[in-house]
Amino acid sequence: MISNDVISYVKNDITIFSFVVMLIVLIILFIIFQKIKWVLVIVLSSSFAVYTMIGLVGFFNFEITAISANFISLMFILSISMNIHILNNYLHTDNQIINTFRIMFWPCFYTFLTTVVAFMSLLVADIKPIIDFGLVMIIALVVILITAFTILPLMISFFRKEKIESKINLLFVKKLGIIGYKYKNTILFFNFLFFLISAYGISQLNVENSFIKYFKEDTEIYKGMKLIDRELGGTTPIDVIIKFNEDEVLTNKNTTDDLDFETEFDDDIFSDDIFDEDNKIWFTQKKINIIKKIHEYLENKTEIGKVNSIYSLINVANQINKNELSTFELSILYNEIPEQYKINLIYPYLNINENMIKITARVKDSEDIKRSELIEDIREYSNKIIKDDAEINVNGLLVLYNNMLSSLFSSQIKSLGFVLLAIFIMFLVLFKSIKLSLIGILPNIFASSFILGLIGLLKIPLDIMTITIAAISIGIAVDNTIHYLYRYNINKNVTVSAQEIINITHLNVGKAVMITSVAISLGFLSLCFSNFVPTVIFGFFTSLAMIFAMIGVLITLPSIFYYLK
């Protein structure tokens, strides 16, 4: 039921949000470039890249999941971003097509590399859908770069060049640089304050979520899972596997001696296979007590609904007998049950040959459960009961899901350091300046840490989609930083005045940074209308990250430049 509904939501999201993203981008591009022809140039070039990638995904038979389903919207946005920077340079300078693309190649190439590095961080995860998503996006970025330097110039060549002047936008962008100059100390203070608060928020991040919270309350799947939890004993399975050590020997002699038989039984009353080859009986009081205690412990946990084990059958047999059956009687009962009933009722919970039993429970997913704590509590209690008589293993879908998210969480948080280091090295190669590279990396650190910190402070649990927000945000946001710093480095040769360098840089590339950030932000914001909650959270926080990254480039960067003179 969950799989079916998720697939339908993913299909719906691909169709609707791809259309919404394109519509938003069209409106923004028309407002900025004011000519239909330039809007068509960008949209057709980006659409060609997306169309090509969809063909490659089908050709190589990549499996599209709830995580990678948004690659179409994401790719379209990234392609639009690169195309805007190129076209903006072409229309606002005296450069012709060939010179424009020659100048823009290296900043675009390095934005491509840094975004690839960000998505490469997903490849170190142990979760296949995450790895597939990273791989799809890396191939998509290659397609975007090739298209931007082949299809885009081809499209531009069909139209006559016209300079576009938009004084309102230029003045607005210029004022952001002036704000950075006038209030540099205040801006830097609040950046570091937010960074410290974010560090605390990051320490509060967790992966304690549940399947039912993936869906909005008005959806059929949410109502169905709520009903199953409330009336039918829970949804998510968890198993406790107990493997006993050496059997407690219980022969027919010492067993029958313990029973108060007043009559002698005929040897043919019981089957010959009551006892095994070693003349032992598997059912012992110690084993039954262990199974009973763990079974009842699980039943008394508020997060757990229905519990099934061999003790469930023993309990029913005791009720029918109106007295507790002895271990000898249980052994007789086990031997006399027909094989077809054993297959359905006993073998799922008992394997005498392997000396193992399984207790199966279902967790109420609608409860505010803490999976890690629940699993650890079950493990600790079971170990305390069994002592040295057996080995315990807690298993099942709940454990699998918890381990998956915990592994993903640790690998992705650690990989962020690798991403930032790789980007810093690329900055060094591109700008040949340690100081400029350090300055350039700061806004991206502030933006990504603030988003992660905000998620932690709001107690929003991470999952297989939201865990990728930081890597994607850095990968996209660093593009604007590279374009800004690249232009800043060029403008240093034009004037020696720090304020004048900032003003010229804001007028050159600041507008493109603002356009792409707003377009990307609105594109991701459209994902908030999905019925799949992880998609909603992913869209909202990625959108927010783009805005903070833009503020970092247009306000924080100038503040740092002015502060360091």
295 residue type, one letter: H
CA distance 207 to 413: 13
**354 and 461 inside one domain:** no
Q: Which of 266, 285, 268 minimizes the C-alpha distance to 331?
A: 285
**416 and 269 inside one domain:** no
Mean pLDDT of the chain: 81
Average pLDDT over residues 167-193: 78
Tokens coding 275: 């006892």
pLDDT (tens digit, 9 = 90+) per residue, 106-115? 888 988 888 8
pLDDT (tens digit, 9 = 90+) per residue, 242-271? 999 865 544 444 444 444 444 444 444 434
Report whether pLDDT(529) > 50. yes
The pLDDT, as a whole number, for residue 271 is: 40
* 323 occurs within a structural domain: yes
Tokens coding 158: 């069909």
Of the pLDDT bands very low, low, confident and very high (cuts 50, 70, 90), residue 503 is: confident
Half-sphere exposure of residue 175: CA atoms within 13 angstroms, side-chain side:
6
CB-based contact 416:121 (threshold 8 Å): yes
Backbone angles phi, psi at 356, to 5 degrees: -130, 150
Average pLDDT over residues 331-350: 87
Q: Which of 414, 420, 473 minimizes the C-alpha distance to 74?
A: 473
**138 and 30 inside one domain:** yes
Report whether pLDDT(153) > 90. yes
CB atoms within 10 A of CB 144: 28
323 residue type, one letter: N
* Strands 350-351, 390-395: pairing kind: unpaired
The pLDDT, as a whole number, for residue 431 is: 79
- The radius of gyration of the chain's CA atoms, rounded to the nearest angstrom, is 32
Q: Which of 139, 7, 134 minimizes the C-alpha distance to 468?
A: 134
Q: Which of 550, 487, 491 minimizes the C-alpha distance to 518?
A: 550
* 383 occurs within a structural domain: no
CB-based contact 352:282 (threshold 8 Å): yes
**415 and 319 inside one domain:** no
* Per-residue CA distances from 198 to 186, 424, 456, 468 (Å): 18, 21, 8, 17
* 381 occurs within a structural domain: no
CA distance 553 to 545: 12
Average pLDDT over residues 290-297: 92
CB-based contact 479:83 (threshold 8 Å): no
**193 and 246 inside one domain:** no
Place of tokens 């179409």: 72
Number of domains making up the chain: 2
**Sequence-distant (≥ 6) Cβ neighbours of residue 209 within 8 angstroms:** 405, 461, 462, 463
Q: Which of 73, 86, 151 minimizes the C-alpha distance to 112?
A: 86
pLDDT (tens digit, 9 = 90+) per residue, 445-491? 888 888 888 988 998 887 777 777 777 777 777 878 888 888 888 78
CA distance 4 to 12: 12
Q: How far is CA 80 from the centre of its chain?
A: 25
Place of tokens 């792409």: 516
Q: Which of 437, 444, 439, 480 minimizes the C-alpha distance to 564?
A: 439
Of the pLDDT bands very low, low, confident and very high (cuts 50, 70, 90), residue 56 is: very high
Three-state DSSP string of 529-546: HCCEHHHHHHHHHHHHHH
The pLDDT, as a whole number, for residue 259 is: 43
* 379 occurs within a structural domain: no
3-state secondary structure of 236: strand
The pLDDT, as a whole number, for residue 44 is: 92
**180 and 242 inside one domain:** no
Altogether, the residues listed in the chain come to a count of: 565
CB-based contact 446:518 (threshold 8 Å): no
* 372 occurs within a structural domain: no
Where is the domain boundary, 363, 392, 425?
A: 363
pLDDT (tens digit, 9 = 90+) per residue, 394-420? 998 888 888 887 777 777 676 777 778
The dihedral through the CA atoms of 111, 114, 118, 119 has a sign that is positive
CATH code at position 458:
1.20.1640.10
Where is the domain boundary, 363, 396, 416?
A: 363
* Per-residue CA distances from 339 to 14, 157, 282, 336 (Å): 51, 80, 18, 9
3-state secondary structure of 391: strand
**209 and 277 inside one domain:** no
Torsion angle, alpha carbons of 310, 315, 375, 128, to 10: 40
CA distance 25 to 31: 10
Where is the domain boundary, 363, 396, 430?
A: 363
**181 and 330 inside one domain:** no
**493 and 426 inside one domain:** yes
The pLDDT, as a whole number, for residue 507 is: 76
Question: Which helix (H) or strand (E) covers residue 285, if one does?
Answer: helix 285-299
Tokens coding 9: 């939501």
**Sequence-distant (≥ 6) Cβ neighbours of residue 254 within 8 angstroms:** none
pLDDT (tens digit, 9 = 90+) per residue, 208-244? 777 787 888 888 888 888 888 888 888 889 999 999 9
The pLDDT, as a whole number, for residue 295 is: 93
**208 and 327 inside one domain:** no
* 401 occurs within a structural domain: no
**144 and 193 inside one domain:** yes
* 392 occurs within a structural domain: no
Q: In terms of residue numbers, what domain contains 299?
A: 236-363
**290 and 340 inside one domain:** yes
**Sequence-distant (≥ 6) Cβ neighbours of residue 378 within 8 angstroms:** 238, 240, 297, 298, 301, 394
* 230 occurs within a structural domain: no
3-state secondary structure of 362: strand
CB-based contact 291:310 (threshold 8 Å): yes
